Amino acid sequence: MSSIPAASHSAPAEPTTTGLNHRKILMWAFLASECMFFTTLISTYMIYRHRSLIGPFPEDIIDIPVTSVSTFVLLMSSLAMVLALSALQRGDIKRTKIWILATVGFGTTFLLFQVFEFNQFYHEGLSPRTNIFGSTFFTLTGTHGAHVTIGVIWLLSLFFAAVKGKLKKENALNLEIAGLYWHFVDIVWIVIFTLVYLIAGNDSGVVPPAGG
């Protein structure tokens, strides 16, 4: 009986002060909070470098080639994410679905690499309890992995929305916001890859004090 269609839960029609959508600003502000979150985790890792008394140390255990591959996979997921959004903004739902699925696939592959790596490390004698390296390493990379997992679940939800025809050109913002999150998580990984993996070659236990 109502001639007004039920309001969609997406973008409000009324104008905003900045002209930007509320949810987009929310996501940017949330990412600022996440920056502090990961900065704390990464700083803790860096502060505790060279503090382990017992091994295994990073130089014994970290496999740069394998993680380079998983890093490449994660970066490719960002490319797929960009292509998915671009397709949706053009109204190409078919390619949108393909690229979202590709993003999910790359993300999941990255997570499988992480499971493999954690398992490997565990068998080589490194657990969160072993030493301070283990504690900081697993907490940092595990938290990042949890973020990727949330991103995968989010993107899967959007994929099913696209399958049902609910993800359209008009609400491409839904995908754009998920994309902001996804790219952020990727960028964090670049920092982690640099600071945890690439410099691990000479990353041993306690370093004797200078001049001593």
Question: Which residues bind to another protein, rule: CB under 8 A?
Answer: 1-4, 6-9, 12, 16-18, 20, 22, 25-26, 29-30, 32-34, 36-37, 40-41, 44, 47-48, 51-54, 128-132, 134-136, 139, 157, 206
Residue 159 tokens, joined = 């994929």
**Is 17 in a helix, a strand, or coil?**
coil
Q: How far is the CB of 72 from another protein (least distance, A)?
A: 28
| Minimum CB distance to another protein, residue 79 (Å) | 27
- Contact predicate 177/23, CB 8 Å: yes
Work out the number of other CB atoms within 10 angstroms of the CB of residue 58: 22
* Least distance to another protein, CB of residue 46, Å: 12
State which residue, 34 or 176, has the beta carbon closest to another protein: 34
Q: How far is the CB of 9 from another protein (least distance, A)?
A: 5
Do residues 81 and 184 make contact, with C-beta atoms less than 8 angstroms apart?
Answer: no
- Give the nearest distance from C-beta 75 to another protein in angstroms: 25
- Nearest to another protein of 22, 90 (CB atom): 22
Residue 86 CB partners (closer than 8 Å, separation 6+): none
Distance CA 173, CA 141 (A): 29
CB 159 within 8 A of CB 97: yes
Nearer Cβ to another protein (16/194): 16
Q: Looking at beta carbons only, is 65 or 202 nearer to another protein? A: 202
The separation between the first and the last C-alpha atoms of the chain, rounded to the nearest angstrom, is 86
Q: Select 22 or 169, whichever has its Cβ closest to another protein.
A: 22
CA 166 to chain centre: 25
